[in-house]
Amino acid sequence: MKTTQFSSSSSDRRIGALLRHLTAGSDSDHLSSVYASPTSGVTGGSVFAHLVQAPEDPILGVTVAYNKDPSPVKLNLGVGAYRTEEGKPLVLNVVRKAEQQLINDRTRIKEYLPIVGLVEFNKLSAKLILGADSPAIRENRITTVECLSGTGSLRVGGEFLAKHYHQKTIYITQPTWGNHPKIFTLAGLTVKTYRYYDPATRGLNFQGLLEDLGAAPAGSIVLLHACAHNPTGVDPTIQQWEQIRQLMRSKGLMSFFDSAYQGFASGSLDTDAKPIRMFVADGGECLVAQSYAKNMGLYGERVGALSIVCKSADVAGRVESQLKLVIRPMYSSPPIHGASIVAVILRDKNLFNEWTLELKAMADRIISMRKQLFEALRTRGTPGDWSHIIKQIGMFTFTGLNPAQVSFMTKEYHIYMTSDGRISMAGLSSKTVPHLADAIHAVVTKSV
């Protein structure tokens, strides 16, 4: 086996080096060759000297640049992270309560979780996304594993598919969240795109989507944003979802849902999960990656889940056994704290209800930011049609501003956003809307 050869040859090399070192005696030339080995970094150059400086991440790098800016009016609309009206990060009240419960419970321990994570969390997460009355849950033909937030769930799902699914190509929307192509390529899949957004209408290119999925080889994997599409804020209607479902099932395409914003699109957890539930109700198989980063504000706790809905309980059991083989060498087992918070909230009716209210309040504040920004541009007489600001859904507005315009706004107005013109509406507040509207007005009325 490859691995055995590797370890024996590397230990042979180490023993060899040691023997040469011990037998070298006063042979200072030999010694110096040992000490000057390129890995010592003392006298020789670094073995990493050839590395070029990697660029910052297109999304998280925006925060890095923002943090370096001393301007008092600076505004970070880059990363999709919720801020209060005061521009501060928010820890939900219900999360504070759950954490207090956890701290008060002296029986809690810090043992490793199983490879699949916190079992109660997994069950509750499946219920949250598929609905309590889901046939897949009733028939026990689903496996759910706790993963490191949405990203980790996508990566584990991607690696599982690369290992065990007969088709290795995944189709992602054009455009999509910048991390998708990287996650799936590194997972071992081939990434292709399907048409999704029409810049002319700033809406869905439904015809293009149907054509591209219709032309995809049978069995291909298709990544679907469950709701609140990132970066465009454009979602299919329920009727369009139904057409997508029929097309995908007729061609045997495998659906992989990315659900990073459940509750953020409409304010309702159930409404936002509808497309996924349609794909489960027909009895077919699918994958779902869930994140609690946004909807429970648990960003840095890194809590999420991967569910794989199968045709039978028997298959689901074997799928789970293989998922464990993907996870164990990757990070062994997931963290305990975030999943415990989620479990406390989801299992308790009162806390759950309180969460839905706080979630709705976040979604409503974002919608109100849309209205305020739209109004602010209207009152300034800013040229162009800005109605997409109020039509688009979820955390982001895909403004249509180009990279040169974005860079002007950053330089002149200290407004930070991704170069594709996406702004996080959740980063805005009533106080900062006028500043953003001034910047947009300035940039579209001058030629940059």
Residues 6+ apart with CB under 8 A from 369: 425, 426, 428, 429, 433
Catalytic one of 97, 235, 241, 294: 294
Task: From 107-115, 145-153, 263-271, 386-394, give the range in contact with ligand KET by CB under 6 A.
Answer: 145-153
Judged by CB, which is closer to ligand KET: 279, or 316?
279
Sign, Cα dihedral of 208, 211, 216, 221: positive
Cα–Cα distance measured from residue 233 to residue 399, given in angstroms and rounded to the nearest whole number:
10
Tokens of 414: 């200290």
Residue that the structure tokens 């979602």 belong to: 235
The one catalytic residue among 74, 235, 241, 258: 258
Residue 128 corresponds to which tokens in the numbers above? 């949250």
Phi (first) and psi of residue 426, to 5 degrees: -70, -15
Choose, from 74, 97, 177, 212, the residue flagged as catalytic. 177
Segment lying near ligand KET (by CB under 6 A), choices 108-116, 146-154, 186-194, 328-336: 146-154
294 annotated active-site: yes
List the one residue from 117, 131, 150, 334 that touches ligand KET (CB under 6 A).
150
Closest CA to 145 of 131, 133, 159: 159
3-state SS, residue 402: coil
Nearest by Cα to 234 from 426, 59, 397? 397
- Give the residue, chosen from 159, 212, 258, 420, that forms a contact with ligand KET under the rule CB under 6 A: 258
Helix (H) or strand (E) holding 430: none
Stretch that binds ligand KET, among 90-98, 147-155, 206-214, 235-243 (CB under 6 A): 147-155
- The contact pattern for ligand KET, residues 260-279, with x = CB under 6 A and - = no contact, is x-------------------
Among 173, 266, 291, 372, binds ligand KET (CB under 6 A): 291
Q: How far is the CB of 66 from ligand KET (least distance, A)?
A: 13
How many angstroms separate the CA atoms of 50 and 42, rounded? 17
| Lookup: tokens for 425 | 């509406």
| Among residues 223, 265, 293, 389, the one that binds ligand KET under rule CB under 6 A | 293
Q: Within positions 185 to 244, which residues make up the interface with ligand KET, using CB under 6 A?
A: 225, 230
Report which of 317, 310, 283 is spatially closest to residue 165, judged by C-alpha positions.
310
| DSSP annotation of 418 | -
Footprint on residues 74-103 left by ligand KET (CB under 6 A): 79-80
Q: Residue 179 or 368: which CB sits closer to ligand KET? A: 179
User: What is the signed CA dihedral for 354, 360, 365, 368, rounded to 10 degrees?
Assistant: -150
Query: H or E segment at 173?
Result: strand 169-174
Taking the complex as a whole, the smallest distance from the CB of residue 130 to ligand KET amounts, in Å, to 18
Q: Which residue has the tokens 């407004």?
A: 415
**In the set 125, 134, 151, 399, which binds ligand KET (CB under 6 A)?**
151
Interaction between residue 399 and ligand KET (CB under 6 A): no
* Among 177, 241, 256, 257, interactor with ligand KET by CB under 6 A: 177
- Interface mask toward ligand KET for 44-73; x: CB under 6 A: ---------------x--------------
Which range binds ligand KET by CB under 6 A, 42-50, 102-110, 148-156, 313-321?
Answer: 148-156
Tokens of 103: 């701290």
Total site size for ligand KET, rule CB under 6 A: 16
Between the two ends of the chain, the Cα-to-Cα distance in Å is 60
- Report the C-alpha gap between 244 and 93 in whole angstroms: 38
Q: Of 80 and 297, which CB lies nearer to ligand KET in the complex structure?
A: 80
Active site residues per annotation: 177, 258, 294
Interface contacts to ligand KET, rule CB under 6 A: 59, 79-80, 149-151, 177, 179, 225, 230, 258, 260, 291, 293, 299, 304
